[in-house]
Each structure stands twice: as structure tokens, then as C-alpha cells.
Amino acid sequence: MVARDSEQYRPLALVGLTATGVLAGAALGAVTNFFNGWLSPAYFRNILGWHDVADEVLRRAVVAQGILEGLGLGLFLSLVLVVVAGVVSRARCSYGFGTAILLAVAAGTLACWALGGLVGMGLATLSSEFYRHTFRGAPADPRELLPYAWVGGSIAGSELGGLALTVLGSFLFYARWRRRMWAA
């Protein structure tokens, strides 16, 4: 007799899910920083202290920085989700089942990146004085301030959104797994 799908132990699926989360974090970091570096090199010059770096070099370095930060954040957040998946499913969830949740978290994180950028621009538009006094190195020129505000807001949006969505994704995993077990 072959064991039912829900009865098979799949610890390698959890390892694969962790690796996928790390790679998704790196990809998100690369893509979002590519856009952010193109939009406002001044942000990275001010925040990272890269004042003597040419625009073209800075844009490549920003992508590398995004990959590095994405790897770290992706590792941490995917481990949270994988621990939940491992405990809830008793290491029985398939790679596909877990990946569906992980990809939803990644897509939601990208949406939070965009929302955060819009919120940052909204704050800078609402009160440029407040924005310049609150956020380090914000430029006085409104043509430079809005892209700068987008970058700062989008980074905060993706980091905070990724964390919140990982927690939400953990609850979603639990609910979907329980529903699946009751249906079996």
C-alpha cells in the first residue's frame, strides 16, 4: 500500500522551500534596487555614503546591495515560514503547497514596495519641509525630492510588508493545511 500524499515525510521539500525563499528575496532585492537606483542615485549616495561613486557604477552597486539585503531578508523570512510549515504539517507538506504561499508573500511584498514608494512620495508632497527634516539627506529640490521619497518609502514598504506578509502567510499556511487535512 502506498502512503497517502499527506502521510509522506518531506523534509527536503522544506529545504527547497527555504532555498526558494532566499532566491526570491535576492531577486526582489535586485529588481527593486535596479529601479530605485535608476530613479534616485542621490538616495543611495546620501544613505550609504557613496558620494564619490559615478552614476553607472552606483547603479550596479545598488543592484548588488539589493541582492545582498534580499538574501539576508529572504533567508530570515523564509525560515520563519518554513518553520511554521514544518511544525504545522509535521514535515509533510509538498514543495508545491509551500511554494504557493511563498510566492504569494513575494508578490505581496512587491506590491508593498510600490505602496511604500507612493506613501513616501505622498509624505514629501504633503509637506516637503517635514520630509526634509525627518529623513536624512533629503534634497531641497522638489524634482529630486519625490524620487528620493519614493526610494525611501519603497524600501521601508518592502521590508515591513515582507515581514507582515510572512506572518500573514504563516497563518494562511496553517488555515490551508488544516482545511486540506479535514478534507482528506
The predicted structure's pLDDT at residue 180:
86
The predicted structure's pLDDT at residue 184:
66
Q: Which residues contact 155 (CB under 8 A, 6 or more apart)?
A: 32, 36, 113, 116
What is the C-alpha separation between 184 and 180, in angstroms, rounded? 6
pTM for this structure? 0.90
Q: Are 172 and 101 in contact (CB under 8 A)?
A: yes
Domain locations along the chain: 8-183
CA angle, 133 then 135 then 140, to 5° = 60
Residue range 139-167, pLDDT digits in tens: 999 889 999 999 999 999 999 999 999 99
The predicted structure's pLDDT at residue 40:
95
The predicted structure's pLDDT at residue 88:
96
Q: 28-40 burial string, b = 16+ CB within 10 Å, else e?
A: bbbbbbebbbebb
The predicted structure's pLDDT at residue 136:
81
The predicted structure's pLDDT at residue 181:
82
SS3 13: helix
The predicted structure's pLDDT at residue 55:
87
Show the low-confidence residues of the chain (pLDDT under 70). 1-6, 184
